[in-house]
Amino acid sequence: MAELWQDVTKTGTTNTASTKKAKEKDGSILGKDDFLKIMIAQLRNQDPMQPMQDKEFIAQMAQFTSVEQLSNMAAEMKLLRSSLGFTSSLIDKNISWIGLNDKGETSTMSGKVESIIIRDGVQYAVVGKREVVLEDVLSIENVKPDVPKPEEPKPEEPKPETPAPGNQTP
C-alpha cells in the first residue's frame, strides 16, 4: 500500500532508481504516515484566533483519501505487472523500447520476445541477445505473419486464330 509513497522524495521529485536504498540511507522519502503527521502538526499549531477553516480541512482530507486510493491502485498495478501470467503473454510478440544500440547510441529498438526471465524481482523480456526491463517497453504488437508475395501472372500465349463460321474456304 505504501509503494507509491516510496517513490516521492521530500523535494517532490520522483525517484525511480534504488528507492529502497535511498530510504535506508538518508530517510528522504515521505510516506502517507508522514502526510498525516504534517496534517496533525498543522492542527496542533494553528492560531486559535484563526483556526483552520472547515473547507481547508475537508480539502486536505479529500487529498489524503485520493492519495491513499492512488497508492492502492499503484500496488494493484504492480501486482498485475509482476504477474508471470501477464508477462508470459508477451512471448512471440514484437516489442519496442529505447536502448543503446551496438554503437552506444540511444535509439528505439524492437524485436520479438523469445522468453521472460525474472532476476532480483525484476522482469526482463529476452529479445535476441538483449534483456529488456519490462518497465522500459514502449509498445507491444502481434507478430505479423509472413505473407508470400502473389505470383505475377504469366503472359498468355497467343491463341491460333480460327476462322469464323461461314467464312471457311473449301
Three-state SS for the chain is: CCCCHHHEECCCCECCCCHHHHHHHHCCECCHHHHHHHHHHHHHCCCCCCCCCHHHHHHHHHHHHHHHHHHHHHHHHHHHHHCHHHHHCCCCEEEEEEEECCCCCEEEEEEECCEEEEECCEEEEEECCEEEEHHHEEEEEECCCCCCCCCCCCCCCCCCCCCCCCCCCC
Q: Is the pLDDT of residue 72 over 80?
A: yes
Backbone angles phi, psi at 11, to 5 degrees: -85, -5
Q: How many CB atoms lie within 10 A of CB 134?
A: 19
Relative to beta strand 137-142, strand 130-133 is: unpaired
Which domains does the chain carry? Answer: 5-82 (no CATH), 85-142 (2.30.30)
pLDDT band at 80 (very low <50, low <70, confident <90, very high): low
Give residues with Cβ within 8 angstroms of 30, minimum separation 6: 5, 8, 9, 10
- CB–CB of 104/68 below 8 Å? no
Using CA atoms, how far apart are residues 65 and 25, in angstroms rounded to an integer?
29
For 107-160, the pLDDT digits (tens) are 999 999 999 988 887 889 999 999 999 888 999 998 877 777 777 766 676 666
According to the model, what pLDDT value does residue 28 have?
A: 62
For 9-58, the pLDDT digits (tens) are 444 444 444 444 444 445 666 677 787 788 788 778 877 777 666 677 77
Q: Is the pLDDT of residue 67 over 70?
A: yes
Mean pLDDT of 53-78: 80
According to the model, what pLDDT value does residue 15 have?
A: 44
Using CA atoms, how far apart are residues 155 and 158, in angstroms rounded to an integer?
9
Q: Is the pLDDT of residue 106 over 60?
A: yes
Mean pLDDT of 83-100: 86
According to the model, what pLDDT value does residue 52 have?
A: 64
Q: How many CB atoms lie within 10 A of CB 96?
A: 17
